[in-house]
Structure 1
Amino acid sequence: MSEGSKGSSLAFGQVVIGPPGSGKTTYCHGMQEFMGRIGRKVAVVNLDPANEGMPYPCAVDISELITLPDVMESLKLGPNGGLIYCMEYLEANLDWLQEKLAAFRGHYYLFDCPGQVELYTHHSALKNVFAQMAKWNFRLAAVHLVDSHYCTDAGKFISVLCTSLSTMLHVELPHVNVLSKMDLIEQYGKLAFNLDYYTEVLDLSYLVDHLASDPFFRNYRRLNAKLVEVIEDYSLVSFVPLNVQDKESMRQVMQAVDKANGYSFGDQEHRSLEALMSAAVGADFHFTSTLAVQEKYVQSRDKTVEEEVMDM
Structure 2
Amino acid sequence: MGKYAQIVIGPAGCGKSTYCNHLYEHCQAIKRSIHVVNLDPAAESFQYPVSLDVRDLVSLEDVVEELGLGPNGGLLYCMEYLEENLHEWLGTELEGYGDDDYLVFDCPGQIELYNHLSVFRTFVDFLKSDGWSVCVVYCLDAHFITDVAKFMAGALQALAAMVKLELPHVNILTKIDLLEDKRHLDDFLFPDPALLLPQLAASTGPRFKQLNTAMAGLLDEFSLVSFLPLDITDEDSIADILGQIDMAIQYGEDAEPRIRDEYEGGDEEEGDGDGGVDI
Which range, TM-score by smaller chain? 0.7 to 0.9
CA contact (8 A) 2:137 2:171 kept: yes
1:98 aligns with 2:91: yes
Deviations 1:125-175 (A, max 9, x none): 121011111110011100000001111111111111111111111122210
Distance 1:245 1:103, change over 3 A: farther
Q: CA deviation at 1:196?
A: 1.9
Deviations 1:25-47 (A, max 9, x none): 11111101111222211111000
SS in 1 for 2:171: strand
Aligned counterpart in structure 1 of residue 10 of structure 2, from 18, 22, 25:
18
**How many aligned positions are there?**
254
Deviations 1:211-234 (A, max 9, x none): 3333x4332122111100011101
Normalized against structure 2, the TM-score is what?
A: 0.86
Q: CA deviation at 1:242?
A: 0.6
Deviations 1:91-146 (A, max 9, x none): 22222112212224342101000110000000001210111111100111000000
Q: Distance in 2 between matches of 1:207 and 1:195?
A: 13
Which stretches of structure 1, 4 residues or more, deviate above 4 A after TM superposition?
Answer: 265-268
Q: Distance in 2 between matches of 1:264 and 1:217?
A: 50
- The residue number in structure 2 matching 1:194 is 184
CA contact (8 A) 1:179 1:239 kept: yes
- The residue number in structure 1 matching 2:166 is 172
Letter in 1 for 2:233: Q
Q: CA deviation at 1:24?
A: 0.7
CA contact (8 A) 1:44 1:110 kept: yes
Aligned counterpart in structure 2 of residue 29 of structure 1, from 21, 38, 51:
21
For structure 1, the residue ranges without an aligned partner over 5 or more in a row are 269-312
- The residue number in structure 2 matching 1:260 is 248
Aligned counterpart in structure 2 of residue 221 of structure 1, from 206, 209, 212:
209
Q: Distance in 2 between matches of 1:21 and 1:259?
A: 27
Structure number with greater Rg is: 2
Normalized against structure 1, the TM-score is what?
A: 0.77
For structure 2, the residue ranges without an aligned partner over 5 or more in a row are 258-279
Distance 1:239 1:267, change over 3 A: farther
Higher helix share: 1
SS in 2 for 1:245: coil
CA contact (8 A) 2:201 2:212 kept: no
Aligned counterpart in structure 1 of residue 195 of structure 2, from 206, 211, 218:
206
1:78 aligns with 2:78: no
Q: Distance in 2 between matches of 1:245 and 1:141?
A: 24
Q: CA deviation at 1:267?
A: 10
Q: Distance in 2 between matches of 1:164 and 1:217?
A: 25
1:248 aligns with 2:236: yes
Sequence identity, in percent? 40
CA contact (8 A) 1:212 1:218 kept: yes
1:232 aligns with 2:212: no
CA contact (8 A) 1:40 1:107 kept: no
Q: Distance in 1 between matches of 2:195 and 2:163?
A: 25
Letter in 2 for 1:68: L
- The residue number in structure 1 matching 2:275 is none
1:47 aligns with 2:39: yes
Q: Distance in 2 between matches of 1:164 and 1:22?
A: 13
Q: CA deviation at 1:264?
A: 2.2
Q: Distance in 2 between matches of 1:68 and 1:44?
A: 20
CA contact (8 A) 2:9 2:106 kept: yes
Letter in 2 for 1:201: P
Distance 1:227 1:171, change over 3 A: same
Bigger mean CA offset, 80-89 vs 251-260:
80-89
